[in-house]
């Protein structure tokens, strides 16, 4: 009997070539500064410079706006490979996509050309202003207001937990434009520029991990926004925001996969050298079982992320399920793998002489931001129960 000619899933040569290029940049230009970036809680400028020089700063921007037009999987590979050496640095391309994707999905041509072109050129970063102190998972309860004023709007309120705030030049900000309107259909998206009068930043949050990526509040004290900075239609803001998250949750899954891979790589290097009882600890079956579980779970997470990335590129109808599932599973795996990697190094893993304790601290946030994993499970369940 002749075997059928199955079309087995595989990563294209172009994607693998991209991986090698990003890995070379990450290992040469980003990894040497990762420990200092964490220790000093400073922005990884060296990483930004390297990413801009290699066109990995905002690879998702379409070619018609000066970008390289990387597909969703290619963008995930960039984020994954950077996160493998420095999670803080991987937030540069990840948040640039998060902040600008609302424009790509719903912005008019003028808005896209005005803001995507400098982003593609590495001249300006893009952040995302959705969460507030009392509106985290419950985004529809946000209090930030935008009031009509002539041909523009006046923005008042605040946003919390904003990644790369103060570094980015541009911000997609969600605000209530109809306080008496239907909940969820009364919110509008705007582009806010760092130089806008009345727009300021809170102090940097003192965080457990990703210390190189500044997280700050955005404060809006009667900030006047021209009418031509609305993203999409008035009242469509929350729909655009949630649609954005369906796509960008996949990139957080990629970040989690990169963190887990970096931790596994470091653990493997250590156990093959560390000697106890007259032999390498890698030769003990208990250690091998831990490594096997780490590798299997990591590869399962990677495949989930890549499938979700393909669905993001095609905008498949089941993206909401796969995006949430990939982000949730991959981040849980990252937490487990980094914890086990610390364990494999024993006391050494608990010290700052090795990168594992940093990777463990960095991994935790992947279970929290862009929707906690409890919210992801709700999204998955709702898709199942439709």
pLDDT tens, 122-166? 999 999 999 999 998 999 999 999 999 999 999 999 999 999 999
Instruction: Give the number of domains in the chain.
Output: 3
Joined tokens for residue 135: 């509106």
**Pair (62, 153) in one structural domain:** no
Computed over every residue of the chain, the mean pLDDT equals 96
Residues annotated catalytic, as ranges = 370
**Pair (208, 313) in one structural domain:** no
Mean pLDDT computed over 325-333: 98
CATH of the domain at 244: 1.20.140.10
The answer to the question of residue 254 being in a domain is yes
The answer to the question of residue 334 being in a domain is yes
**Pair (132, 72) in one structural domain:** no
The answer on pLDDT for 6 being more than 50 is no
The answer on pLDDT for 175 being more than 50 is yes
Predicted local confidence at residue 1, as pLDDT: 42
The answer on pLDDT for 316 being more than 90 is yes
**Pair (133, 111) in one structural domain:** no
**Pair (335, 296) in one structural domain:** yes
Q: Final residue of a domain: which of 235, 250, 273?
A: 235
Pairing mode, strands 126-129 and 170-176: parallel
Predicted local confidence at residue 8, as pLDDT: 53
What's the whole-model pTM score?
0.96
Instruction: Note the residue count of the chain.
Output: 386
Q: What domain range includes position 177? A: 126-235
Q: How far apart are CA 141 and CA 98, in angstroms?
A: 21
DSSP string over 155-224: EEEEEEEEETTTT-SEEEEEEES-TTS-TTSSEEEEEEETTSTTEEE-PPP--SS-TTS-EEEEEEEEEE
Q: Final residue of a domain: which of 215, 235, 255?
A: 235
Which segment of 10-19, 37-46, 213-222 scores lowest on mean pLDDT?
A: 10-19
pLDDT band at 276 (very low <50, low <70, confident <90, very high): very high
pLDDT tens, 35-48? 999 999 999 999 99
CATH of the domain at 150: 2.40.110.10
Q: Final residue of a domain: which of 67, 87, 120?
A: 120
Predicted local confidence at residue 268, as pLDDT: 98
**Pair (261, 380) in one structural domain:** yes
């Amino acid at each position: 009997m002749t075997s059928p000619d199955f079309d087995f899933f595989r990563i294209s040569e172009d994607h693998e070539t991209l991986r090698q290029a990003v890995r070379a940049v990450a290992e040469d230009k980003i990894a040497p500064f990762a420990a200092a970036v964490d220790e000093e809680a400073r922005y990884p400028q060296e990483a930004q410079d390297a990413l801009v020089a290699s066109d990995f700063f905002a690879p998702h921007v379409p070619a018609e706006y000066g970008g390289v037009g990387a597909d969703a999987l290619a963008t995930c590979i960039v984020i994954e490979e950077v996160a493998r050496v420095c999670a803080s640095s991987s937030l540069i391309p990840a948040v640039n996509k998060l902040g600008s994707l609302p424009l790509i999905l719903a912005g008019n041509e003028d808005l896209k050309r005005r803001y995507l072109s400098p982003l593609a050129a590495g001249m300006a970063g893009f952040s995302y202003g959705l969460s507030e102190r009392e509106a985290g998972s419950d985004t529809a309860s946000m209090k930030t207001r935008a009031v009509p004023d002539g041909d523009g709007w006046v923005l008042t309120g605040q946003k919390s937990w904003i990644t790369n705030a103060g570094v980015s030049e541009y911000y997609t900000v969600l605000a209530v434009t109809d306080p008496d309107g239907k909940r969820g259909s009364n919110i509008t998206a705007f582009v806010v520029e760092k130089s806008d009068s009345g727009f300021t930043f809170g102090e940097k949050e003192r965080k457990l991990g990703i210390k190189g990526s500044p997280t700050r509040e955005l404060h809006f004290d009667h900030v006047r926004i021209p009418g031509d900075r609305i993203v999409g239609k008035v009242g469509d803001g929350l729909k655009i925001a949630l649609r954005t998250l369906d796509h960008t949750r996949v990139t957080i899954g990629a970040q989690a996969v990169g963190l887990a891979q970096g931790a596994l790589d470091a653990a493997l290097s250590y156990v093959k050298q560390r000697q106890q009882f007259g032999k390498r600890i890698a030769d003990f079956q208990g250690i091998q079982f831990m490594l096997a579980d780490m590798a299997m779970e990591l590869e399962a997470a990677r495949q989930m992320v890549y499938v979700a990335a393909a669905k993001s590129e095609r905008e498949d109808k089941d993206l909401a399920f796969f995006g949430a599932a990939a982000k949730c599973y991959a981040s849980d795996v990252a937490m487990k793998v980094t914890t086990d990697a610390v364990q494999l190094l024993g006391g050494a893993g608990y010290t700052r002489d090795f990168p594992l304790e940093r990777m463990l601290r960095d991994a935790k946030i992947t279970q929290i931001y862009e929707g906690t994993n409890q919210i992801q499970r709700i999204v998955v369940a709702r898709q199942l129960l439709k």
